[in-house]
Chain A
Amino acid sequence: MHKRVHYNTSYLPYLLVAPQITITLLFFIWPAVQALYQSFLLEDAFGLSTEFVWFDNFAELYDSENYLNSFTRTAFFSVSVAALSMGFALFFAALADRVIKGSHTYRTLLIIPYAVAPVLAGTLWLFLFNPTLGIVPYFLDIVSINWNHKLNSGQAMSLVIIAAAWKQVSYNFLFFVAAMHSIPKSLIEAAAIDGAGPLHRFRTIIFPLISPTTFFLLVVNIIYAFFDTFGIIHAITSGGPGNSTEILVYKVFNDGFVGLDLGGSAAQSVILMFIVILLTVVQFKYVERKVEY
């Protein structure tokens, strides 16, 4: 016999979700609507003259070869960042899960990068890889690799991917470790008794059981790579050499906050928003099927 609590008042559920709804409206929906409106405007920086131009801002983007090229760049960048940061986080988490002594220190150290601001992270990596002063190019030079991300597009792209991924490893690590913790020890011990090695156990037990977390992180990481990486790019390459590291969100930031072209920047952010909505829908529809809760 189940005991049930009945609430007769109909307003209580609304009251309970109200804070969440308010925050979403205030900080997500309202700015999104504003951006949508702004994207139809042609305005000077001070807002002294405003003209409604319908889809001019979008048409202009469609005409720009650089803008269209930056879609493939962004895709490559985002997938690489997500794969790299999740791959490393998973690796570290799997190791941390097995560590018994000093696991606390080990975990704390791995979490620290998350506290570093994007621009600072970018600057740190920039120092390490500075062609003139950096320590990494110095060592690469010994093995006859000439590092100059100021001119070499491939190297510049690798550098921003590494820097962006590095910052996200901590976050992913935290979730992976927590997910692994929630796996019942008895399962793993039983497998061990049956003679399954650590790798085998990871592949057949741990990995499938943490799949909900992996899926969640995939969504979060893609969104991170799409939206939160402009600070790193600004600090390291400013989009160069040429336009080779100019990803979509960097252009949104640069045109809007540096170039003060609000309409053009808003139009780009609207496009970006639709891309991410689409991606998230796709992920939930297709990737989630493989997830076992």
Chain B
Amino acid sequence: MLKKTLVAASVAAALLSGAANAAVEVNWWHAMGGTNTERVNKITADFNASQTDYQINAVYKGNYTETMTAAIAAFRAKKQPHIVQVFEVGTATMMAAKGAVYPIEQVMNDAGVKLNKSDYLPAVISYYQTPEGELLSMPFNSSTPVLWYNRDAFKKAGLDTAPETWDEVTTSAKKLVDSGMKCGIAVGWQSWGLIENYSAWNNIAVGTKQNGYAGLDTEFTFNNKNVTANLQRLSDMQADGSFTYGGRRGESLAMFTNGDCGMWINSSAYYGSIKGQAKFDYAQTMMPFDSNVTNAPQNSIIGGATLWTLKGHKKEEYKGVAEFMRYLSSAEVQSWWHQETGYVPITTAAYELSKKEGFYDKNPGTDIAIKQLSLNTPTKNSRGVRFGNFVQVRDVINAEMEKIWNGSKTAQEAMDDAVSQSNKLLRKFEKANK
């Protein structure tokens, strides 16, 4: 009797699991921690519920570097996921791995899923396109640096408007300090803000070969007089606290939210944190441009991450990837994601939808990032940067910038050294990725 029940139960179980297996499984490794994990899970759960053919399994793999390292190790062991989320500095590494990466445009075309590139915000997708215009990965969470400022402190210092140029930043910072602030301005992710975006915003190159888009034989040129003059200006501003250095990553957030610094240049995606922490009237505005370089800003470049498809799986599974990407790009999903997280929407339709829903009226400033990204059609200087070994290059830049801030080098010396060390890293990458 017991035996019979067991047999019946196992047959039933086998049938059930057979039914579940009918859906093609697609694995997605991502780096969205905290509340964003739940948001990612909601997206995949909704997608899985919306159809029966495919099932997306989202797995949190740690921070950006950990996720990327895990995916690469998995690829070497032939156990790679279908989709992996990679941050923007890993783009060149992914791009060069032609044998491992299945460009998303091809994935969609091969699966017969329509990809209309004109639906996407140009500044967002241009970072991830080949020089010929092929889209390599699907943008997922993107942001851009903006200028955050403390309105109460501005009022107290007698400042009516937010600064638009670096000269105005300098005078505003001075006034803030004179009015009793501990510091005028701080900057987070300094290489991203003060070199990569400073250059794009003022339409100058970070490196040769279209910022690396046109070939691996690129060289850095960010030791030019504009970048160095601006860094030297900031360094000199430290004398009275007009500028205060607050660390390599985003940790200077605390200096802004506790009211020490009146201005802060960092990602627009800090909206949620600032909203939660700042006990004063704050606002975001466009990054300052350098009036010694240009008369008007160009467009800023993005940071954040995109979804890459890895080779080595079955055809029908890639169909699932394509269907999921279509779902992910839909206006509803995108505008929800954008409004929940503060990341910019990747399509124009999602932007329009958020507008229609009155999101920007209720949350003033949340559209600054999109406006800044799409201010002008991206030029070869402003669509992005694509350099190999860029994680290490950023380390070199950070170290050399700290030598400016603590006075052991002038801006010119430091940037000359940073360029020569970074160029060695580029040559090494070129050699390893022939």
Contact = CB atoms under 8 A, between A and B. Distances in A.
Interface of A: 42-49, 51, 60, 64, 66, 130, 132-133, 150-153, 238-243, 246, 254-255, 257-261, 263-264
Contact of A240 (B68, B69, B96, B402): B402
B146 to A, nearest CB: 21
A242 B97 contact: no
B432 A42 contact: yes
B402 A48 contact: no
Contacts of B98: 48
A133 B68 CA distance: 32
B406 A153 contact: yes
A223 to B, nearest CB: 25
Nearest to A246: B399
What DSSP secondary structure best describes chain A's contact surface? loop
15 contacts: A44-B97, A44-B432, A46-B72, A48-B98, A48-B99, A66-B421, A151-B245, A153-B406, A238-B398, A240-B402, A241-B399, A242-B402, A259-B395, A260-B93, A264-B428
Nearest to A50: B432
Interface string B68-107: 1100100110000000000000000100111110000000
Nearest to A133: B254
Contact of B391 (A43, A151, A243, A258): A258
B65 A239 contact: no
A242 B246 contact: no
Nearest to A241: B402
Contacts of B138: none
A151 B72 contact: no
B135 interface: no
Contact of B433 (A49, A153, A259): A49
A260 B97 CA distance: 13
B81 to A, nearest CB: 14
B189 to A, nearest CB: 13
B414 to A, nearest CB: 9
Contact of A239 (B255, B395, B403, B434): B395
Given A64-B421, A240-B399, 9 more contacts: A45-B97, A46-B100, A49-B432, A60-B428, A133-B258, A246-B399, A258-B391, A260-B72, A260-B391
Contact of A151 (B392, B406, B431): B406
Given A46-B97, A46-B100, A60-B428, A241 B392 contact: no
B365 interface: no
B260 interface: yes
Contacts of B254: 130, 132-133
B245 A150 contact: yes
Interface of B: 65, 68-69, 72, 75-76, 93, 96-100, 245-248, 254-255, 258, 260, 389, 391-392, 395, 398-400, 402-403, 405-406, 408, 421, 424, 428, 431-434
A264 B389 CA distance: 12
Contacts of B260: 132
7 closest A-B pairs by beta carbon, nearest first, are A241-B402, A259-B392, A151-B406, A46-B97, A48-B99, A46-B100, A242-B403
A47 B76 contact: yes
A261 B255 contact: no
A242 B432 contact: no
Given A151-B402, A240-B248, A240-B402, A45 B395 contact: no
A240 B398 contact: yes
Contacts of A64: 421
Nearest to A42: B432
A260 B65 CA distance: 9
B76 A132 contact: no
Nearest to B434: A49
A151 to B, nearest CB: 4
Contact of A255 (B72, B392, B399, B421): B392
A264 B429 CA distance: 11
B33 to A, nearest CB: 15
A150 B247 contact: yes
Nearest to B253: A132
Given A132-B255, A260-B72, A242 B391 contact: no
Nearest to B72: A45
B389 A44 contact: no
Contact of A46 (B99, B246, B248, B255): B99
A246 B405 CA distance: 18
Contact of B69 (A60, A66, A152, A260): A260
Nearest to B76: A47
A46 B428 contact: no
A243 B255 CA distance: 24
Contacts of B76: 46-47
Contacts of A259: 389, 391-392, 395
Contact of A258 (B65, B245, B398, B403): B65
B389 A242 contact: no
A243 B418 CA distance: 12
B406 A43 contact: no
A64 B396 CA distance: 12
B434 A241 contact: no
Nearest to B402: A241
Nearest to B404: A242
Contacts of A60: 424, 428
Contacts of A43: 432
A256 to B, nearest CB: 9
A259 to B, nearest CB: 4
A44 B402 contact: no
A151 B407 CA distance: 9
A27 B389 CA distance: 30
B145 to A, nearest CB: 20
Given A42-B432, A259-B389, A239 B406 contact: no
Contacts of A257: 65, 69
A238 B248 CA distance: 9
A277 B68 CA distance: 33
